[in-house]
Structure 1
Amino acid sequence: MSSLSKLEFFYARANAFTGTIPSSLLNIPSLLYFDVSYNQLNGTLEFGNISSSLEDLSLGYNNLNGPIPKSISKLVNLWILDLSHLNTQGSVDFSIFLHLKSLNDLRLSNLNSTTTIDLNAFLSSFKSLQTLDLSGNHVSARNTSSVSDPPLLSQFNLSGCGLTEFPKFLKTQDTMTILDISNNKINGQVPGWLWTLPNLDSVYLSNNTFIGFQRPTKQRLYSTWKSSMRYLFGANNNFTGYIPSFICGLHSLTVLDLSNNKFNGSIPRCMGNFSTFLEVLNLRKNRLHGGLPENISASVKSLDVGHNQLVGNLPRSLVLISSLEVLNVESNMINDTFPFCLSSLQELQVLVLRSNAFHGPIQQAGFSKLRIIDISHNHFNGTLPSNFFLYWTAMFSLGKTEDQSNRGYMGTSYYSDSMVLMIKGVEMEMVRILNILTSIDFSGNKFEGEIPTSICLLKELHLFNISNNAFTGHIPSRMANLRELESLDVSLNKLSGEIPQELGKLSYLSYMNFSHNQLVGLVPGGTQFLTQSCSSFEDNPGLFGPSLEKVCVEIHGKTSQESDIPELEKDEEEVISWKAAAIGFIPGISFGLTMGYILVSYKPEWFMNPFDRNKRRSIST
């Protein structure tokens, strides 16, 4: 390619290229734009006789290491410079950038440098700068208000820079659209003037030690302020008191996340006045009390108020939120019956009622897109009809029903849904939820009767927990149809008969618990059963067999005869299968998926970084 003597534009970003950057390509005299960011390139930077006419040099988000060549200071025509995630492995002379007076877009995040960046020097030197990303470095941002004539920034990222105070120069930044000062040590009040910046679109305040919000000044609020803010993230701070009512004036909000704080009082009723833009409302893990307001915005897709002190009933107006995909009210004091009306919500995928005071029986409900349901630790009772799961078609064959382009995680590039799940006997927080994760948790209630045989239809089910109830009868042998099942917990019930031998063929079933029942007969063979602990079978005196002998030091109540309890009649199951076919059941094909449960909050930067949009100026050739 170095023979292309008139080459001006070279774009190869966001691929999987490896190896070193060919310096001969950078030496083409006519080269103006060179972007190989978001690849897997390695080695050190060697510019050689780099073209001095370069206007865009984007090398960020690779595996490059070593020092920054001082010759970069000669690229005085640079308009865009991205060296993000360059592993400098030591000190950096940041003065080499101060010669680049034409810079409009400068990204130097996560350089792994021991040198502290003087923010004042950058603000004084770059008068044309619109985008500045110094996140993940040591930054000194004291006395920024003393900088005369700072550049008018549009996007500013100082996430994870060790800041202890709010940069005061921002007060005059009327062109600011995106501000990220998350993951710092800033305390005190969020300044009121922040909300009056007329073009502010996205604000990231999460993971600091803020204690409150100052109100916007009335004069500017009602005279010149136009609410254009769409994204407000304030999670993981020390906010106390009531949720400030002025937030309801941010009529363009799409995401409001105030989770993991210490807010008290009730949820402001004015939150129902948000426009049709609001998609995410997350007030999880606060100290809110009272009831859920009746007038939640009708455009919400994700509503999470878990881990508060809410009481009363679920508002029946929730049925009007036709876009609702996630509803999480776990760990409150809500006293209500099962919300059957929600089955009319065609987009509902996650329903979490865990650890409340819900009560009463549950009849058949048609949740066509439901993939995760957790109603554990409530007071539900009665029996579940055999056709209970008949219309839960999203778990029939997820690979066929999901849009291929939509695989990954729930949420958007700005926001990830999260929740707590009981996974293989351990309570885990899912920071992100896989689009293909399926789970049913009915544990800790008072259900009776037999396990619904329609469970055999859910061939894409990964987690199934009905422990600590009063289920009776046999374990359906056709649960062997649950080919993706990884975790099965039926402990602490009154189940009888044998553990179906067919379950030994479930290749992904890595956790199971049959303890504290009345099971008898031969324990299935197979690797899965041999890897369980003895506690998974305890308090079932009638169980025996080679598998049990290998996992248990003591064989509890070993018998010499297999159970003579006959296998469940299959007629009813076959009728259910025919019904399922009639409503469009298409058997799925196995993904061969071994689920990797995500316990850390990480997304590829090219997908998450809010500064990565609209960075290019128009080019006409």
Structure 2
Amino acid sequence: MWYVNLSNNTFISFQTSKKKQGLSSVRKPLLRYLLGSNNNFTGKIPSFICELRSLETLDLSENNFKGSIPYCLGNLKSNLSHLNLRQNNLGGSLPKHIFESLRSLDVGHNQLVGKLPRSLNRFSTLEVLNVESNKINDTFPFWLGSLRKLRVLVLRSNAFHGPIHQASFPQLRIIDISHNHFDGTLPSNYFSKWTAMSSLGPEEDHSSEKYMGDGSSYYYDSMVLMNKGVEMELVRILKILTAIDFSGNKFEGEIPKSIGLLKELRVLNLANNAFTGRIPSSMGNLTVLESLDVSRNKLSGEIPQDLGELSFLAYMNFSHNQLAGLVPGGTQFRTQRCSSFEDNMGLFGPSFDEVCRDIHTAPASHQQYETSESEEEDEEEVISWIAAAIGFVPGIVSGLTFGYILVSHKPEWFMNPFGRNNRKGRSTTTH
């Protein structure tokens, strides 16, 4: 037996009874895949797992494991390629010695503290590193630039802080450092060495490629990314998608002009920072960009007209800045909501008028009152406002329902093959 899938059930333990022992009582020297995600496992991660020295993939995500990551997992370091402990209650710090052969490490949504182990930069096989939603307190790991195969870096929602020093990430395709305490300015050439986002290269064709090879179609890495204004779970496309999310930090200064070099970039989120200056016109070079969010900054000047030529740009948000001038034309701008442009007092143009026509009617009617000059008209206006107020009070008793959108669109290539979104109920599969 080299593959055991216990995922999507209601198991609480690996051991069944004293007379008939479960998986924990049997040595499995040939076991390569142990998948136990989305169950009700509690307590500490069982120590018998450390005896499974042939294990290549260990997925214990979406359970209730507590305690620290077992030190004995170091016994598996020569073969273990994929370790997923996501969405548990694990504490302590990340071990320094279990990463030698890892291609993917996901410990997101736990209670981990401390710093990222500097030993990570010695493990050249690492492609995916996800530590989101923990309590890690560290500076930006620019030293991870030495990992020549690193494709996905997710530091979201931790206590990372300080400037993000310039680094070369030759294979990086997805980086999410949102909702931390990063600050400082980004030099104009900050993205100049992020070559994987500049071009996939003519020799690469990922249209039908699975993320993992070597027969590991039993397991796929996944992540949650803010895309087009909603959180989406991405599965099996981590070699195809290119995304940058720097939102929810304290970055200042201008947006680097070198962002325009990333011609394969599809998702760009710089919202909720303190960026100033103009939106770089070089963004017009991002011809495959699908989602752009620069809201809640201190940006000024015009929205670059070249953005109107980006035919894939389905979602954009420029709200809560200090932008002024002509809003670009084009179909994509005309199909946005008015909220994408709100709180920018100086915007105008046919595209803006079309999506925000209701806003324009209010100032026009209001001006009619301002041009009233006679005392008689002023008195009539006051009387009208009082009457309107009396009639309006009974009608203001109403409720608002707020909906939280988890996933707005999940085509087949987004879906997890083990159905992690289908809670419980699937039977155990053993090969």
Q: TM-score range by the shorter chain?
A: 0.7 to 0.9
Matched with 2:152 is 350
Matched with 1:393 is 195
* TM-score, with structure 2 as normaliser: 0.81
Matched with 2:397 is none
| SS of structure 1 residue aligned to 2:13 | strand
CA distance in 1, matches of 2:2, 2:318: 53
RMSD in angstroms over aligned alpha carbons? 2.5
- After superposition, what is the alpha-carbon deviation per residue over 1:99-141, rounded to whole angstroms, capped at 9, x for unaligned? xxxxxxxxxxxxxxxxxxxxxxxxxxxxxxxxxxxxxxxxxxx
CA distance in 1, matches of 2:341, 2:112: 39
CA distance in 1, matches of 2:16, 2:93: 26
Matched with 1:214 is 15
Matched with 1:527 is 331
CA distance in 1, matches of 2:348, 2:25: 80
> 5 Å matches for 1:362-373?
362-373=164-175
User: Across the two proteins, how many residue pairs are aligned to each other?
Assistant: 367
- Code of the residue aligned with 2:81 in structure 1: it is E
Once the 2 structures are TM-superposed, how far is the Cα of residue 215 of structure 1 from its aligned partner? Answer: 9.2
CA contact (8 A) 1:215 1:246 kept: no
Report the CA distance shift for 1:482/1:597 in structure 2 as closer, same or farther (over 3 A).
Answer: farther
Matched with 1:482 is 286
Q: Kindly indicate whether residue 124 of structure 2 is the aligned counterpart of residue 322 of structure 1.
A: yes
Matched with 2:256 is 452
Matched with 2:302 is 498
- Code of the residue aligned with 1:201 in structure 2: it is W
Once the 2 structures are TM-superposed, how far is the Cα of residue 225 of structure 1 from its aligned partner? Answer: 4.4
Once the 2 structures are TM-superposed, how far is the Cα of residue 275 of structure 1 from its aligned partner? Answer: 4.1
CA contact (8 A) 1:407 1:436 kept: no
| SS of structure 2 residue aligned to 1:299 | coil
Matched with 2:359 is 554
Report the CA distance shift for 1:433/1:356 in structure 2 as closer, same or farther (over 3 A).
Answer: same
Matched with 2:76 is 274
| SS of structure 2 residue aligned to 1:211 | coil
CA distance in 2, matches of 1:405, 1:501: 32
Q: Kindly indicate whether residue 100 of structure 2 is the aligned counterpart of residue 295 of structure 1.
A: no
CA contact (8 A) 1:465 1:490 kept: yes
- Code of the residue aligned with 1:479 in structure 2: it is M
| SS of structure 2 residue aligned to 1:312 | coil
- After superposition, what is the alpha-carbon deviation per residue over 1:33-58, rounded to whole angstroms, capped at 9, x for unaligned? xxxxxxxxxxxxxxxxxxxxxxxxxx
Q: 1:244 aligns with which of 36, 42, 46?
A: 46
* TM-score, with structure 1 as normaliser: 0.57
CA distance in 2, matches of 1:451, 1:496: 12
Report the CA distance shift for 1:224/1:267 in structure 2 as closer, same or farther (over 3 A).
Answer: closer
Once the 2 structures are TM-superposed, how far is the Cα of residue 401 of structure 1 from its aligned partner? Answer: 5.9
| SS of structure 1 residue aligned to 2:113 | strand
CA contact (8 A) 1:407 1:435 kept: no
Q: 2:317 aligns with which of 505, 513, 520?
A: 513
CA contact (8 A) 2:15 2:24 kept: no
Once the 2 structures are TM-superposed, how far is the Cα of residue 413 of structure 1 from its aligned partner? Answer: 1.1
| SS of structure 2 residue aligned to 1:400 | coil
Report the CA distance shift for 1:305/1:229 in structure 2 as closer, same or farther (over 3 A).
Answer: same
Larger Rg: 1
- After superposition, what is the alpha-carbon deviation per residue over 1:373-429, rounded to whole angstroms, capped at 9, x for unaligned? 000000000001111111100011115363x36853423412111000001010112
CA distance in 2, matches of 1:281, 1:431: 16
Report the CA distance shift for 1:317/1:398 in structure 2 as closer, same or farther (over 3 A).
Answer: same
Q: 1:469 aligns with which of 267, 273, 286?
A: 273
| SS of structure 1 residue aligned to 2:193 | coil
CA distance in 2, matches of 1:252, 1:602: 23
Q: 1:426 aligns with which of 220, 224, 230?
A: 230
Q: 1:285 aligns with which of 74, 87, 110?
A: 87
CA distance in 2, matches of 1:500, 1:533: 18
CA distance in 2, matches of 1:225, 1:421: 39
CA contact (8 A) 1:542 1:557 kept: no
CA distance in 1, matches of 2:25, 2:155: 44
Q: 1:600 aligns with which of 398, 415, 427?
A: 415
- Code of the residue aligned with 1:254 in structure 2: it is E
CA distance in 2, matches of 1:388, 1:215: 55
Once the 2 structures are TM-superposed, how far is the Cα of residue 226 of structure 1 from its aligned partner? Answer: 5.7
CA contact (8 A) 1:464 1:488 kept: yes
CA distance in 2, matches of 1:362, 1:279: 29
> 5 Å matches for 1:526-545?
526-545=330-349
| SS of structure 2 residue aligned to 1:213 | coil
CA contact (8 A) 2:42 2:66 kept: yes
- Deviating runs (4+, > 6 A) in structure 1? 220-224
Q: Which has the higher contact order (CA 8 A, sep 6+)?
A: 2
CA contact (8 A) 2:107 2:131 kept: yes
- Code of the residue aligned with 1:227 in structure 2: it is P
| SS of structure 2 residue aligned to 1:408 | coil
Report the CA distance shift for 1:477/1:541 in structure 2 as closer, same or farther (over 3 A).
Answer: same
CA distance in 1, matches of 2:254, 2:61: 40
Q: Kindly indicate whether residue 188 of structure 2 is the aligned counterpart of residue 410 of structure 1.
A: no
Matched with 2:407 is none
Report the CA distance shift for 1:222/1:500 in structure 2 as closer, same or farther (over 3 A).
Answer: closer
CA distance in 2, matches of 1:397, 1:368: 11
Q: Kindly indicate whether residue 163 of structure 2 is the aligned counterpart of residue 361 of structure 1.
A: yes
**Structure 1, unaligned stretches of length 5 or more?**
1-199, 559-594, 604-610, 614-621
> 5 Å matches for 1:12-411?
200-214=1-15, 225=27, 227-400=29-202, 402=204, 404=205, 407-411=208-212
